[in-house]
A and B are shown apart, each in its own frame.
Chain A
Amino acid sequence: MNIYLVALLRILAALGLMLLNGVVLIYMLRKVLGYLHVRLGPMELGPHGMFQTLADVLKLLTKEDPTPTHVDRALYFLAPGIVFVPSLMAYAAIPFTGTWVIADLDLGLLYTFAIMSLLPLGLVAAGWSSANKWSLIGGMRSVAQQVSYEVPLLMAALSPVMIAGSLNLADIARAQSAVWFWLPCLPAFLLFMIAGLVEANQTPFDMSEAESELVAGFATEYASMKFGLLFLSEFSNTFIFSSLLVTLFLGGWQVPFVPVDAMGGWAAVVFLIKVYLVIFVLMWIRGTLPRVRIDQLLAMGWKVLLPASIVWVMLTGAAVKLWPMVFGGVR
């Protein structure tokens, strides 16, 4: 088949996955938060409110899209795109199974982090161009927190990389056939979880859109599908972060005691189930913990997470080097 056609189909698959994931996650978020609060969530449209999200998408698409007077027009229209495109591109390296991956990159992890670190640019552009104090504060906060937590996130991701000896996400997942990395790298797992919550803008750390303080943060002045794009990328980031967590620490598509060859196509299903379980845990945390203050967040990032992650990287490096010396040539 034509190589460009294949590439186009893969991009379309990623886009479809992203949109579908957004629809599913919005419904899931409402339902999970509802049940955590002893409520029901949406119930009216369709069985158990299943079509509520579709109705909301239709609403977003058909809504009036007013442009505030003093916005920086170029950036204002560009910002949702700048936010949306990286979160779409980040799907490229995620290995759903050993073979099901949109682009099998040797530097997959690095690529994903590089792409995801473009996001704050879009967010600060959205916040700045909106000519609104809430938006600006939200945009600045998002940059502050994402820059601070990028470092512990990368450091925490380094220990699986060092053990697996590869930056290819599929290889890292394959290296966990004996033991999933969350067990030997428990501190890294926790660090990655916390830093990932910040990166994915999840509630205990969603400083950039803190509803109670900033209306909707960088998204305040956006309406209609521009707002939709901003939020779609938010949900998609949650998915990407969860799939990174699953790939790095929770064994990717593998199930204990089941050989990978026996799973066949089900491996992708296993991967998705794991991802959505992680997302459920994120929502559980979201439904439980109150939002921290921005200074507490940054202080924790620089004073606790960063030193802890550096120490853990050193320990992992020493262990990876010492293990073969002590126990003799396991790897």
Chain B
Amino acid sequence: MSWFGSGILTGLRITMRNMLRGPITVQYPHERLEIPERARWAVEMKPDEDGNHKCTGCLACEKACPDFIIKIDVTTAEDRSKHIDHWHYELGACMMCGLCVEACPFDAIRMGHDYELARTDVSELQYDLLTDVAAVQPKRKAAVERPGAERQAPTDASQAPTDASRAATDALEAETRSPEGSEQS
């Protein structure tokens, strides 16, 4: 049973408690919150340790994109090495689903953490992530060195690194050997 006017006092107490709690505002342009590690904003190239791109021009991301906004212009040379003329990405239509990142077999792209993507002009939403660069020659993955695999076939596992290094030099050869590699892993 509450007496008359107690609701008003309760309200006043609550607001005073809020006042003493202090503001929780993050003053955005001056302060920023930590972004979660798996936050997804615009697609960007994921560089390797040396800062080079890892795109092989395989077009898996282009095929995976539900919005058809990734467009990679690839020129294939006679030796079957690829050259990326444009890696076109239209931010304005991107829904940041991340399917391209999942589709990429070479871990070459990622969802970036830059969230200040507003532009004053629509044309600035057309990104060219890579322009006129050579595509990376796809390296065959070495057999994954699991303890169990080592016990079963120690010779294969020891050969695997040399296989991989040779595969790096010759993409064609690597392709022919790929079924073997998958069997090993």
Contact = CB atoms under 8 A, between A and B. Distances in A.
A285 B11 CA distance: 9
B25 A39 contact: yes
Q: Which of A34, A37, A39, A288 has the most CB of B within 10 A?
A: A288
Interface in A281-313: 284-285, 287-289
B21 interface: yes
Contact of A40 (B14, B18, B21, B23): B23
A215 B14 CA distance: 28
A38 B21 contact: yes
B184 to A, nearest CB: 60
Contacts of B21: 38
Given A40-B27, A289-B8, A284 B18 contact: no
B23 A39 contact: yes
A38 B19 CA distance: 6
Given A34-B23, A288-B8, 16 more contacts: A35-B18, A35-B22, A36-B18, A36-B19, A38-B21, A38-B23, A38-B25, A39-B25, A40-B23, A284-B15, A284-B16, A284-B19, A285-B12, A288-B11, A288-B14, A289-B11
Contacts of A289: 8, 11
A314 interface: no
Contacts of A32: 19
8 contacts: A36-B19, A38-B21, A39-B23, A40-B27, A284-B12, A285-B12, A287-B15, A288-B8
Contact of B24 (A38, A284, A285): A38
A107 B25 CA distance: 50
Contact of B23 (A35, A284, A285, A287): A35
A319 interface: no
A289 B12 CA distance: 8
Contacts of B24: 38
Interface residues of B, number: 14
A37 B22 CA distance: 9
Interface of A: 32, 34-40, 43, 284-285, 287-289
A235 B15 CA distance: 22
Nearest to A34: B23
Nearest to B13: A288
A43 B12 contact: no
A32 B21 CA distance: 13
Interface string B19-58: 1011111010000000000000000000000000000000
A231 B8 CA distance: 27
Contacts of A288: 8, 11-12, 14-15
A36 B15 contact: yes
B9 to A, nearest CB: 10
Contact of B18 (A37, A43, A285): A37
A43 B8 contact: no
B78 to A, nearest CB: 62
Contacts of A38: 18, 21-25
B17 to A, nearest CB: 10
A40 B8 contact: no
Which of A34, A38, A287 gathers most chain B CB within 10 Å? A38
A32 B16 CA distance: 10
Contact of B27 (A43, A285, A287): A43
Contacts of B19: 32, 35-36, 284
A210 B163 CA distance: 79
Contacts of B23: 34-35, 38-40
What 7 A-B pairs are tightest by C-beta distance, nearest first?
A: A288-B15, A288-B11, A40-B23, A40-B25, A35-B19, A36-B15, A36-B19
A35 to B, nearest CB: 5
B169 to A, nearest CB: 60
Contacts of B11: 288-289
A287 B25 CA distance: 18
Contacts of A287: 15
Contacts of B12: 284-285, 288
Contacts of A35: 18-19, 22-23
